[in-house]
Structure 1
Amino acid sequence: MRWEELLSAKRCRGGQTRGRNVKSSDLRSEFEKDYHRIIGSASFRRLQDKTQVFPLDKSDFIRTRLTHSLEVSSFAKSLGQNIGENILVYKKDSEFTPQMKEDICNILQCAGLIHDIGNPPFGHFGEDVIREWFERKLPLMTYHGKLMEQVMSRQMVEDLYHFEGNAQAFRLVTKLHFLVDERGMNLTYALLSTIVKYPVPSTGIDLDSGDIKTRKMGYYLADEKMFREIEKETGTKGCRHPLTFILEAADDIAYKTADIEDAFVKGYLSYHTLLEELKELQMMYHQETNTFRPADKLEELYFRGKEMHVANPEEYAVKNWIIRVQGFVINCATYGFTSNYDAIMKGEYKYDLFHGTYCERLMQLLGDLAYREVFTSEPIYRMEVTESVMLSDLLDKFMTAIIKYDDPLQKLNSMDLRIVSFISDNYKRAYHCQAEGKTEAEKLYLRILLVTDYICGMTDSYAMRLYQEMRGMFLSGTE
């Protein structure tokens, strides 16, 4: 892969292919324009009311999808600066220029903002609920007297069984964010290629391959044509875009450190539990901890806080420790990319940027600790049961109505008409653009995606409110 192609500034609708628009008084690069398109979008604003870890939390400290995305954006840009400078200083690529370094930073900053923009309400648990709903319901659903699994193609069915927030993000920014026409936000191809973490369809998922790119699907069949065009323009040829590795590292750094901080603030995780876990890790891998000893650093910060007579030395230690860890893992990710540069550019690197290092073990511990202390706690489980009921009920009602929508052989009843009317006109317009000239099976598949599109666009509060309103509507309809 070559940076000249990888940094393509081409857009589906117009725009420059590369570099700057020198004929215009607008001195922004195409990638800087992407940034302004994103932050001005309603889809980005909705992230302020979407769950990161704690749903519908009233605290102004706890992170939402919006604050998480801003953190990922910041880390991604910092990594881009480090890595771009390393490529230049050590002359790893004779074609790489200072302008390319600047473009990389701008692309990564934008990619961090939209990497989670397609996620449904209630965090990653919302994704699980949607996948499990299809696993339960789709094998029983019929269309014109036939099982839907027999009506739709294998890839259409697999798309639903492997519903994925990453694929939904790609779909949202390329198709659903309807401004002028059906091309979504009309972002640059370099940026779009960067956010595709898994450049394979649902039928290409292979958990046994050992290659990180085949763990999940990266795009729906409905969006494959767009993906192929971007793949051709950027020259990735079935491989991950190199910047995707950096984006993923930034995401890992952001959420694994933030989850620990949020868990501490919410009272799920104590200073002493964190310290004991880190001491155990440090003892197990004592020969690899010369550069950064996490337990020692946490303890050092605690005693510093006591010496300074801060009100809460444990809080002082944990919050400052998070900052130290972030600096350490940024350096690790920089090394991971630059030391594997040739393999990454050839599309042969199969792992994340922390692979095989002590940093990888530290990151695994932080993720495991958050899972044990937070994600499997009774309060979180209680919230998730409620969330599952809400999303499943919405899926039940909208799918029942949408299957009949735009079908000349079926008629919407009065309740179906009301339910379909709730779906955004933009989403319905996008559906009709995509359904034009398609077969009945393809239209059915697109209508099902219309429901997941609509639900994924909901904020947590809106999903809860709509569920309550529709529950009342249906109860009143049975009286």
Structure 2
Amino acid sequence: MEWSKLLCGDRIRPIARREGSQDLRSEFEKDYHRIIGSASFRRLQDKTQVFPLDQSDFVRTRLTHSLEVSSFCKSLGQNIARKIVTDIRDESFDPSYQQDICDILQCAGLLHDIGNPPFGHFGETAIREWFKENLPRLEYVSDDGNTGKLVDILNPQMQNDFYHFEGNTQALRVVSKLHYLVDEHGMNLTKALLATIIKYPVSSLEVDKNSPDICCHKMGYYYADRELFRNIEDSCGLNGRRHPLTYILEAADDIAYRTADIEDSYKKGRISFDVLTRELENRCFEDLSDSGYRLLIDTLKYRYGKGIEHGVSDPGEYAVSNWIVAIQGKLIYLATESFVKHYDEIMSGSFGQELLEGTEGKHIVDALGDIAVKYTFNSEPILKIEVSADRILSYLLDKLVPAAVYYDTDIKLRPIDSRMISLISENYKKIYHIYSRDTSEKEKLYLRLLLVTDYVCGMTDSYAKRLYQELNGLVI
């Protein structure tokens, strides 16, 4: 892979450059302002990070999480780009690329969760499970009047797109199609940025969760977006591999959410200073060969002592907050060094693991993740919310999918189905009509099912909850 192609500033719809323009921004800086000004980005403020529908001003949402990931992306980009110039000395890497890398990564951090449905990652699970359970049961009357199973009409990739549904995959649809800014090309962002947010460059038919190569652990693009994916891949010279900047985006995301989950859990009273210290000490005892845990514990206790010394009202909170900042700095350093160490593998497309894998940072993020799962994700309030989220999303899909199946066909919709279709955004329906034009009956059916997931994924937590209540007569 070559940086001159990887940093492709072209867009799917070319934009004419006007002579005498006073706009001195690079194409990637323009991307940043398109994202910040979008409604799709603003909706992240009402989407779950850890604690669904939480009223606290402190607890993170998808919006604040995305801002943090964007910040870490920029820091990692600055460090790594400088290392490429000063340490690796890749002659094909022009010094001017340093700023471009930072700008692309900063934008990618803002976008990485923009396709997530309401209620966090559990929302993704609920949508996948609904389709696995219900899609094989649905019947369909074709144009010739024959009745059969709906799945017999869809090709294998179309079916698997719903069985492997992912917010990561949905992000590409949001920014390239669904965000109707000017036309059917969405935000019309640069191809380098689009390539960076595609974490898994495989179709739903190529997903292999047991593969040693993380690049095929999840689906990266829908059947509906296959031509777009090939366009991006060809323009950036990826040859079926991940964009190098995607590894940096993934590391920034891991650093942000692993550390934030601990801080949010402390603020919500799910863990205490003593519990956090004890959990780290247990890991230190279990793995005597790893001095990293000992250092983590010593640093945490040192921060606690400083809190007492400064006379703060809650030395535990002071310790955890400052300790988290120190850990973030260490993880940024470790991810930077790992990228440099594996530079040749990354650029050749043969690197198939996370940047923190095989480093001390892997022990740190695993420990923080295990603690968050034990004391927060498996806590009663979160489990109750997840059960409620499943009920809400299942109900909406129960009503929307049957309505969409015969939308835009010669079969007259039932009154209830026509009302459900009327709830879907006119922009989303416009996108459906544009991309379904002159396609087969099979592809139109598939795109109508995608219309439903597009609508559901665009919902905020509050909107999904309110719509469920209104449709069940609970709010009038």
TM-score range for the pair, normalised by the shorter chain length = over 0.9
Correspondence list, 1:63-462, <5 A:
63-144=60-141, 145-284=147-286, 288-289=290-291, 293-408=295-410, 410-462=411-463
Deviations 1:334-374 (A, max 9, x none): 01111100000000001000111121011111111111111
| Aligned-partner Cα distance in 2 for 1:287–1:184 | 52
Query: Is the 8 Å Cα contact of residues 9 and 15 (structure 1) preserved in structure 2?
Result: no
8 Å CA contact 1:282–1:294 kept in 2: the answer is: no
1:2 aligns with 2:2: yes
The separation in 2 between residues aligned to 1:446 and 1:331, in whole angstroms, is: 44
SS in 1 for 2:96: helix
| Normalised TM-score (structure 2) | 0.96
Q: Which stretch has the larger CA shift, 300-309 or 260-269?
A: 300-309
| Aligned counterparts of 2:294 and 2:8: Cα–Cα separation in 1 | 38
| Aligned amino acid, residue 140 of structure 1 | R
- SS of residue in 2 equivalent to 1:146: strand
- Pairwise CA distance, 1:98: 2.2
Preserved contact between residue 281 and residue 294 of structure 2 (Cα < 8 Å): no
- Code of the residue aligned with 2:358 in structure 1: it is G
**Would the aligned equivalents of 1:162 and 1:202 in 2 still touch at CA under 8 Å?**
yes
| Residue 293 of structure 1, CA deviation | 1.1
Q: Do the aligned partners of 1:198 and 1:216 also contact (CA within 8 Å) in 2?
A: yes
Question: Are positions 1:28 and 2:29 aligned together?
Answer: no
Deviations 1:154-197 (A, max 9, x none): 00000010001010001111111112111011000000000000
Distance in 2, matches of 1:348 and 1:441, equals 37
Q: Conserved in 1, the CA contact under 8 Å of 2:200 and 2:217?
A: yes
SS class of match (2:35): helix
Which range is displaced more, 1-10 or 369-378?
369-378
Query: What displacement does 1:229 show?
Result: 0.3
CA contact (8 A) 1:282 1:293 kept: no
Moved more, 290-299 or 384-393: 290-299
State the one-letter code of the partner of 1:265: K
Partner AA of 1:435 in structure 2:
S
Aligned-partner SS, 2:114:
coil
The answer as to whether partners of 2:201 and 2:216 remain within 8 angstroms in 1 is: yes
Aligned equivalent of 1:57: 54
Contact preservation (8 Å) 1:152, 1:445:
yes
CA deviation digits over 1:230-269, x for unaligned, max 9?
A: 0000001100000000000000000000000000100111
Q: Give 3-state SS (helix, strand or coil) of 2:449's partner.
A: helix
Partner SS, residue 25 of structure 1: coil
Matched-pair contact (CA < 8 Å) for 1:73–1:113: yes
Question: What is the CA–CA distance in structure 1 between the aligned matches of 2:441 and 2:292, rounded to whole Å?
Answer: 63
Identity between Structure 1 and Structure 2 (%): 56
In angstroms, what is the RMSD of aligned CA positions?
1.7
- How does the TM-score come out when normalised to structure 1? 0.96
| Structure 2 Cα separation of the partners of residues 283 and 427 of structure 1 | 55
By how many angstroms is 1:13 displaced? 1.0
Deviation at 1:123, TM superposition (A): 0.4
Partners of 1:420 and 1:292 in 2: how far apart?
Answer: 58
Q: Distance in 2 between matches of 1:21 and 1:365?
A: 53
Checking the alignment, whether the CA contact within 8 Å between 1:115 and 1:169 is kept in structure 2 is: yes
- The alpha carbon displacement at 1:226 in A equals 0.1
CA separation in 2, counterparts of 1:399 and 1:99? 49
Deviations 1:288-320 (A, max 9, x none): 537981110000111111122111111110111
Pair 1:137–1:329, CA change in 2 (3 A)? same
CA contact (8 A) 1:289 1:358 kept: no
Q: Is the 8 A contact 1:21 1:29 kept in 2?
A: no
Residue type matched to 1:423 in 2? Answer: I
Residue 286 of structure 1 deviates from its aligned partner by: 5.5
Aligned residues of 1:292 and 1:328 also touching (Cα < 8 A): no
Matched to 2:85, the amino acid is L
1:23 to partner: Cα distance: 5.3
Unaligned runs of 5+ in 1: none
Partner secondary structure for residue 143 of structure 1: strand
Return the letter of the residue paired with 1:12: I
Q: Distance in 2 between matches of 1:457 and 1:224?
A: 21
2:115 and 2:174 in contact (8 A); partners too: yes
Aligned residues: 471
Q: Deviations over 1:81-127 (max 9, x none)?
A: 00000111114310212210100000000000010000000000000
Equivalent position amino acid for 2:278 in 1: E
| CA shift in 2, pair 1:221/1:208, >3 Å | same
Q: Is the 8 A contact 1:282 1:289 kept in 2?
A: yes
The question of whether the paired residues in 1 share the 8 Å contact of 2:284 and 2:293 is answered with no
Contact 2:201/2:220 (8 A) holds in 1? yes
Q: Distance in 2 between matches of 1:304 and 1:94?
A: 47
Unaligned segments of structure 2, at least 5 residues:
142-146
Residue 46 (structure 1) aligned to one of 43, 50, 61? 43
**Structure 1 residues 74, 164: closer, same or farther in 2, change over 3 A?**
same
Task: Give the Cα–Cα distance (whole angstroms) in 2 for the partners of residues 27 and 21 of structure 1.
Answer: 12
Residues 1:12 and 2:9 are matched in the alignment = no
Distance 1:248 1:440 in 2: 38
CA–CA separation in structure 2 for the residues paired with 1:282 and 1:7: 43
Q: Where has structure 1 moved over 2 Å in runs of 4 or more? A: 20-24, 279-292
